[in-house]
Structure 1
Amino acid sequence: MRLELRGITKRFGALVANDHIDLVVQPGEIHSLLGENGAGKSTLMNVLYGLYQADEGEILLDDVVQNFSGPGDAMGAGIGMVHQHFMLVPVFTVAENVMLGHEQTRGGGRLDLEAARAQVREISARFGFHVDPDALVEDLPVGVQQRVEIIKALSRNADVLIFDEPTAVLTPQETDELMVIMRQLRDEGSAIVFITHKLREVREVADRITVIRHGKVVGEARPTASDGELASLMVGRSVELTVHKEAPTLHDNSLKVADLVVTSESGTVVVDDVSFEVRGGEVLVIAGVQGNGQTELTEALIGLQGDVSGSITLDGQELVGRSVRQILDAGVGFVPEDRNLDGLIGEFTVAENLMLDRSDGPPFVKRGALQLAYRDQFAGEKVAEFDVRTQGITTPVGRLSGGNQQKVVLARELSRELRLFVAAQPTRGVDVGSIEFIHKRIVATRDAGVPVVVVSTELDEAVALADRIMVMYRGTVVGIVPADTPRDVLGLMMAGISAENAKGDAA
C-alpha cells in the first residue's frame, strides 16, 4: 500500500508542530523520518495514526483520501503503529493483548482465545519471532514485548507500519534483531515509516531518509550520506560528532561506593550490592537498558533515595545519611535525568534557575537580602559562556528548547567548586548541536581533575565519553570494562551476561 501525506499542518495554539509536510512511502520501502526531539516527527505520525486531526492537508492510501477520526479508523485502513512506550497490558497474555480491541467470539459470545493463539503462532512462525501466545507480557524481556506489538499490528492486516523510536529500550543485540525484522517486513511488501534520531540506525536500515527540522521537511537523503551530512541537515549547521579527549590523568581524589543497596518504597531491592570507585580525572559511564537501577543509584549518590545501606564516600567523607543540601554543599554537581521534573522550574526565569541551589547564602544572598545585581551579572556571564539561546535572562526557562534548558542546568551545576560531577542522561531530548557542547563540558570537567559519573542508555555516547564503562542489569553490576570494549560485548553485558562470558560469546 502506497502512503502519501500532502501538506500536513498541525498547530497547538501558536506553535506550528507540522508545517505543510509532504511525504511519500512506497510499498516495500523503509522510509526513515529523521529529526531532533521536538522536530515534529511523532506529531506527524500521530496525525497519520488518527490520534490527532490535521488542521490542513490530506492523507492518501493508494491515492484515496482518508479521513481518520481515531486510531480505529487508521487500523481499519491498514495502518499499524509500534509505539516507543509499549501499549500492552502487563497482566494479560500475549494472545489476550493481540486480540484486545478487536475481540473474536464464538458460541455463546465467549472470547475465541484459540483463534488469537493461532494467529500469534502463525505470525511468529512467519517471522521467526518465537513468541509463546500464553506467556504473560510482564514476564517477557523488553525485546520480546516489542515483537508482541508488531504481532498486534500484523494481526490487523497492517500494510503500513510506523515504528516510533523503537530502539529506545533495546540492547544493541535486540536492536540488530529488530532491523532484521523490519527488512523482512519490507521484503514482504510492507511500507515502513521508521522514526528515529539515531544516525547509526537510520543509515543501517533505511532505503530513503526524510529530515524534519522545526516542523518542516528540510531535505531528503540516501543512507549512503555520512553522519556529518545527516547531522547538518538536522541542526542546520555543521556539527562535530566526535568526542575529542586525551588519555586520563588520574588524581588521588575519588568517589568510592561500597556494598550499596537501595530499596524502593514497595520493598524491592533496586540497587543490589554495588561497589565501584571513580578517581579524579576520569569519566565512569554507567550503561545499561533503562530501568536496571541506574536512576536509583544516581539518586542515592545525591541523597534522593530514602532506604540506602552501604557506603558512599567522597574524598573519605561519608555521604550516606546526609541531606541533599549537605551533599550539594560538599561539592557535588548533579544533572538529573528529567530536567523538567528535578532540574528546573519552568515558570522561573533563566536567572532564577541559575541560582536555584545556591539561594541560602553568599554570594547570591547577604543578610537575608537577594543580591539582584550579582545574580543578573552572573546569569549574563553564564548565558554567554554556555551559549544558552534565549531572549534574555528574564525569559521563563520553560520557553527554551530542550537543549537550551539542559545548558541552563549544566551552567548552574558546573559553575561552582566541584569535587564530584554526576550527570544522568545528560543529552536526552537535546539537539545534536547541544550534544556536541555538552560533551565538551563533561570532558573539560574530567580534565580539571574532578571524578565524573555519567549515566547513559545511548551506547555510542557511553563509548565516546567513558574512560571506563560500568554495565548494570537488574540492579547489579555485570562488570566494569575499558571504553574500547567491543559493542557486541557491551550489548551482551546489557542483557545480563558477565564480561568474561560476553567476551567469549562474542568471539
Structure 2
Amino acid sequence: MEAVEKSQEKPIAVQMSGVVKHFPGVLANDHVDFTLFKGEIHALLGENGAGKSTLMNILAGLYRPDAGTIVVSGKTCTFNSPRDAIHAGIGMIHQHFMLVPSMTVTENILLGLEEPRFRLRLSHYDEQIRALGERFGMRVDPKARIWQLSVGEQQRVEILKMLYRGAEILIMDEPTAVLAPAEVEELFHTLRRMREEGKSIIFISHKLNEVTAIADRVTVLRRGKVTAAGLPLAGVSRAELARLMVGREVVFNLQKKPVQPGEVVLKVENLHALNDRGLPALRGVSFEVRRGEIVGLAGVAGNGQRELAEVITCLRKAEKGHIWVGGEEITNCNVSKGIRKGIAHIPEDRTHVGTAPNLSVTDNVILKKYKEPPIANGWMLNQVAATGYAEDLKKGFEILVPTVETPVRLLSGGNLQRVILAREISAQPQLLIAVQPTRGLDVGAIEGVHRLLLAQREAGAAILLISEELEELIDLSDRILGIYEGQIMGEVTDGNLEAIGLMMTGTRLENAPAVPEVRHE
C-alpha cells in the first residue's frame, strides 16, 4: 500500500483511458487504461497477441485508436504520425527494427531529423554517434551499413536513435532480446540513470526476471484486456506474473527425458566463412551433433553464430572446410539439396528470412512442400490440399489467426514463430538448426517452443540450438559449445555458468584456470 501511495505522489507522464483498437477479425485493445508516472520504469506484460505492441504503437503515433483518449504531461493529444509523438517527447524502440538496410548507422540515426538541413558533415556526426555509443556501453561502427550488422548490433542502433533524440518518454519493446547478460546490465544502468533524471520508461519484455529486476510497476494484458493495472513489483513472484499473463500455471523448467545419442548426423570440420562485410566470421570451426541430442552454442551476438547457421543450411558459402549431414557432404550445396537431406532451419530473423510477410499462412507453411503431392498436382498447386494442410498445422501448432489466408505480416511474433515451427517440424527433419527460437516470445510461447524442441530430440532429430539465452541453453542442451570471434572455445556438459561465461568472452576452456562448479538452478 505504501508503494502505491508513494507512486501516486509523482506527476503523471502518460494517461491512456478507454483505448479500443480493432483489426479485421481481432479486438486488439478492449477499453484499456494505462498510467505512466514521471521518473518511473513501468513494465508492460502479456502473451504474444495480447495487445501490448498495439497499445504502444498507438502511443507512438503509428496507429490511431478507434476510441479512447491519450493525455501526455497534462495535455490531451491526438497523434497522426510518429513525428507528432516524437514532438510530444515520446520515442519507441520496436521489436522489429525500423531501419533502412542500405544506409549507414549514422544516416539511420539522423533520418527524419530537422537538423542537419543543408550541409551533412557525416564525419562530424559519426564521431557524435560513436561517443554516444561508448557513453551508454553500446558500441557500434557508425559507418557500417545496417545490412552488414548482426541483429544485436541493429538493436543497439535503434536504442541509440532514441537516445540521440533525447526522448522524455521511452517505449522499449523487447530491448534486451538480443543482448548478452553483461550488455543487459549496462542497459539497465542506463535506464536507471534516465529514471533518476526524471525520464519515464515503458519496458515491454517477456523476460520476467528482467522485469522484476528493473521495473517499479507492471501492467498486464491478456487478450486485449487489463488483468493487472500498475501493480507494484515489490514482493511479486515470477510465477504470479506468469499466471496473470497466460491465465494458468507455467512450467519454467521442463524435464528432459533421457535419450541415448545415436550416430553423427551433422559433422563440421575446419569451417571458414566470411560475414557480409567480407571479413572472417568463422575461423576453423569443428564439432559434431548426434541423433537424439541438443547441442547448444553460446556466444555474444556477432561472433559468427548467424554465419554458421547460414553455411550449414546452404544460405552462405564456406571459404574452406567441410560439412556432412547424414554421412553425405553438403558443403556449398544449394538450398533444395539441403531440404532434401532433411535440414530444417529456424532463423533468428523470422520476419525477413523465416517467412514471406505478404503471403498467407497457407503459402508460408507449404514453402517446402509445394512441389510434392498431394499439394502438388503435376505442375499445378492443389489449393484444397494446401488449405487442408495449413488448417491441420494451424490446429496442431495452435497458430492464433482468423483464417489461414491471412498474410503472416499481420501475425504477432509468437504466432509468426509458430508458423515457422509448423513448417519446419512437420517436415520431420533429421537435423534442426534453431537460431534464437524464443527471441521476443512470452513465457507461455517459450514453454511451447521448448516442448517442441524436446519432442524433436526424443523423436531422434539432431538439434543445433544457437541462443543468447543462457537459461534456455542450460535447460535444453545435452552439451554446450562456446563461440568467440568465429572459433569454438570449448565444450561443457554440466551447465557450469562460469565456464560458459569464460568461453563467451574469449577464453579457451583448456587454457582456463580451474573453474568452480557453478550450476544453473
TM class by shorter-chain length?
A: 0.7 to 0.9
**Matching residue of 1:193:** 202
**Matching residue of 1:277:** 288
Distance 1:273 1:438 in 2: 31
The answer for unaligned runs of 5 or more in structure 2 is 1-10
Distance 1:247 1:30 in 2: 43
Preserved contact between residue 180 and residue 468 of structure 2 (Cα < 8 Å):
no
Report deviation, 1:379.
6.2
The 5 Å alignment of 1:58-73 reads 58-71=69-82, 73=84
Q: Secondary structure at the match of 1:357?
A: coil
Q: Tell me whether 1:333 sits opposite 2:344 in the alignment.
A: yes
Which digits, 9 at most, give the CA deviation of each residue in 1:342-369, with x for residues without a partner? 5556777766655542444567668778
**Matching residue of 1:455:** 466
Report deviation, 1:32.
0.7
Report deviation, 1:210.
0.4
Q: Tell me whether 1:2 sits opposite 2:12 in the alignment.
A: yes
Report deviation, 1:373.
8.9
Distance 1:317 1:145 in 2: 41
Which digits, 9 at most, give the CA deviation of each residue in 1:65-89, with x for residues without a partner? 2345555554554445556658798
Residue identity in the other structure for 2:219:
T
Match of 1:31 among 32, 39, 42: 42
Q: Tell me whether 1:317 sits opposite 2:328 in the alignment.
A: yes
Distance 1:44 1:56 in 2: 12
**Matching residue of 2:271:** 260
TM-score by length of 1: 0.77
Distance 1:146 1:480, change over 3 A: farther
**Matching residue of 1:216:** 225
Preserved contact between residue 347 and residue 436 of structure 2 (Cα < 8 Å):
yes
Match of 2:256 among 238, 242, 245: 245
Distance 2:326 2:244 in 1: 45
Q: Tell me whether 1:164 sits opposite 2:173 in the alignment.
A: yes
Determine which structure has more spread, i.e. the larger CA radius of gyration.
1
Distance 1:455 1:65 in 2: 46
Preserved contact between residue 11 and residue 17 of structure 1 (Cα < 8 Å):
yes
Which digits, 9 at most, give the CA deviation of each residue in 1:417-460, with x for residues without a partner? 54322223323454433332221121122223332112223333
Distance 1:47 1:489, change over 3 A: farther
Distance 2:432 2:133 in 1: 47
TM-score by length of 2: 0.76
Distance 2:477 2:60 in 1: 40
**Matching residue of 1:178:** 187
**Matching residue of 1:232:** 243
Which digits, 9 at most, give the CA deviation of each residue in 1:90-128, with x for residues without a partner? 5649xx9699946599xxx999x999999999x999xx8
RMSD: 4.7
Residue identity in the other structure for 2:205:
T
Report deviation, 1:274.
1.6
Distance 2:396 2:83 in 1: 50
Distance 1:190 1:402, change over 3 A: closer
Distance 1:416 1:115 in 2: 49
Report deviation, 1:201.
0.6
Distance 1:413 1:318 in 2: 22
Q: In percent, how many aligned pairs have the same letter?
A: 38
Preserved contact between residue 129 and residue 142 of structure 2 (Cα < 8 Å):
no
Distance 1:374 1:465, change over 3 A: same
Distance 1:373 1:102 in 2: 53
Distance 2:156 2:434 in 1: 30
**Matching residue of 1:203:** 212
Distance 1:414 1:82 in 2: 32
Match of 1:21 among 18, 32, 35: 32
Report deviation, 1:167.
1.3
Preserved contact between residue 257 and residue 275 of structure 1 (Cα < 8 Å):
yes
Q: Secondary structure at the match of 2:450?
A: helix
Which digits, 9 at most, give the CA deviation of each residue in 1:379-430, with x for residues without a partner? 67655554455677x6557376554554454344334554322223323454
Match of 1:152 among 160, 164, 170: 164
Distance 1:214 1:378, change over 3 A: closer
Report deviation, 1:199.
1.1
Preserved contact between residue 206 and residue 443 of structure 2 (Cα < 8 Å):
no
**Matching residue of 1:445:** 456
Residue identity in the other structure for 2:178:
V
Residue identity in the other structure for 1:209:
V
Q: How many residues align?
A: 492
The answer for unaligned runs of 5 or more in structure 1 is none
Q: Secondary structure at the match of 1:257?
A: strand
